[in-house]
Amino acid sequence: MGMRKYDLEEQKKTPYLDAYKKYLALKTTAFDVPGHHQGKIRTDFNKVFGPTIYRSDVNAPRGMDNLCHPTGVIKEAQELFAKACGATYAKFLINGSSEGNLIMLMAALKAKDKILMPRNVHKSVINGLVLSGAIPIFVMPEIDNNTEIVNQISYKARKDAIDKNPDAKAIFIINPTYYGATCNIKKIVDYAHSKNMIVLVDEAHGSHFYFSSHSPVTAMEAGADMSTLSIHKTGGSLTQSSVLLIKGNRVPRYDVVKTFNLFTTTSPSSLLIASLDSARKYLVFNGSKNIYRIIKLAKEAIERINKIKGFKAHGKDYFKLNEAYDYDETKVVVELDNLSLTGFELYKLLKDKYNIQIELGETYIFLLLFTVGSKKEDVDKIVLALEKISKKYYKENMVYPSHHYLNDSFPPLVLRPREAYHASLKVVKLKNALNKISKEMIMTYPPGIPVIIPGERFTQNVIDELIYFKKIKANILSDFEGVNEVSVVDEKLLNKKE
């Protein structure tokens, strides 16, 4: 976070929350939607949650503005958000950064426009490619062979890609990756802009950067054109609520607003919008000290976990050695070190036996998130659980499954994702998919980074990786249950015209 340039007095306001409170106090007689009329029906939901949620769920077109065409309190709340983040303007999202990524790709790109991007993007970015029809030019990120974590693209690789593709319309940056690595975003933005390229940034995991002097550089500080922030992930608002930030006019406002309205429901939840208005005020006034507190807590967790046999917790130093320019210290990646469990199994064990929900488990690692809500007792609890797990599962000279996937990195892209999406369908057994062009995205979730996307050819490594994920019962998202079958392009019927 750079120097604050906004008016702190003004940031004390919560215009949307205030109007909402006022509306609820009026106890207005309803002949409108939502049809439960503030909970006047007896449902099981009512019994579980009590009357508050139903009572607060109002549409309230009068006095509470309209998310699709804001002119009142939503407009004011969005302006306060934009100022707090150093953006020209902001749009509230009620379908997460998934919606933000779709809007960015659709607003900035037309069919066959090129965009340079890392291959380890979230599935929503691939969906944005399908919808916009843009051509991705994937640039290989650095891969940590030890943990199998896909990190950032080096500045050199990114610059070379820009130089080799001068006709690209945009570049895409993840700030930070799911695991916390960031790149030299300012230098990349400056170089891309010098070549007239638009810079789009996925900050789904970096909303807190805007409110902490101990966090890496933000997209808006770096001068990027658009960025999506999942305030619900690390900023304390309700699930789904996110914010799209826009700087300058490289992507014309008309295109942003038009695209926003393409994706936005006409019945947004007032609870989500109010939670954004209130999280912004909370973060402006409490973010910095709270994030400093949780960074210290995360460091304490690293120290304590590193004393337990079977675990190696990593922090900023480790990631900087692995080509990260900087690192988000609210994330803690723990590598399994001679433990007779995979990260997938540990993820389940922690929930089922110890009632601890961690962010993610993969073959060789698991990930802990420290957010504005984290507490010291949470660290005590997980340290105790890991000590017990270590006693049971520590095994010297443990041999881990081999790293199939990294051997030939990502599969080759041979069709535009949108072309593959619309091509004629053939269904084949996964084991027979070699060299076929995928029509679908397949991934483990979390993290939601696709193993294969529409338009890529199945390689043996991809097939082996998916068979391995099935065997260990990882949570796989694909078009066909259990990935026994996959959808591929019927190449005989391939029609290259759109």
Ligand X SMILES: Cc1ncc(COP(=O)(O)O)c(C=O)c1O
Q: Which residues of the chain form contacts with ligand X (CB under 6 A)?
A: 96-98, 101, 122, 124, 174, 178, 202, 204-205, 230, 242, 447-448
Q: Minimum Å distance from CB 428 to ligand X? A: 29
CA neighbor of 384 nearest in space, from 354, 361, 362 = 354
The 10 Å CB-count burial string (b at 16+, else e) for 183-211 is: bbbeebbebbbeeebbbbbbbbbbbbbbb
- Decide whether 39 or 100 has the Cβ nearer to ligand X: 100
Q: Minimum Å distance from CB 159 to ligand X? A: 23
311 phi and psi angles, rounded to 5 deg: -135, 140
313 phi and psi angles, rounded to 5 deg: -90, 135
Q: Minimum Å distance from CB 122 to ligand X? A: 3
- Decide whether 11 or 152 has the Cβ nearer to ligand X: 152
H/E segment holding residue 467: helix 460-471
- Decide whether 11 or 127 has the Cβ nearer to ligand X: 127
Q: Minimum Å distance from CB 384 to ligand X? A: 28
- Decide whether 232 or 304 has the Cβ nearer to ligand X: 232
Q: Minimum Å distance from CB 229 to ligand X? A: 9
H/E segment holding residue 302: helix 288-305
19 by DSSP, 3-state: which?
A: helix
Q: Could you give the CA distance from residue 429 to residue 376 in angstroms, rounded to a whole number?
A: 49
- Decide whether 219 or 463 has the Cβ nearer to ligand X: 219
Distances (CA, A) of 438 to 88, 126, 205, 476, 481: 40, 13, 29, 16, 16
Closest-approach residue to ligand X (CB): 96
Enter the tokens of residue 364.
Answer: 């060789």
H/E segment holding residue 348: helix 343-354
Residues belonging to the chain: 498
- Decide whether 310 or 447 has the Cβ nearer to ligand X: 447
Q: Minimum Å distance from CB 227 to ligand X? A: 11
Q: Minimum Å distance from CB 97 to ligand X? A: 3
- Decide whether 369 or 430 has the Cβ nearer to ligand X: 369
Sign of CA dihedral 424, 428, 430, 433: negative
190: which residues sit within 8 A by CB, 6+ positions away?
Answer: 223
- Decide whether 165 or 230 has the Cβ nearer to ligand X: 230
Q: Minimum Å distance from CB 263 to ligand X? A: 12
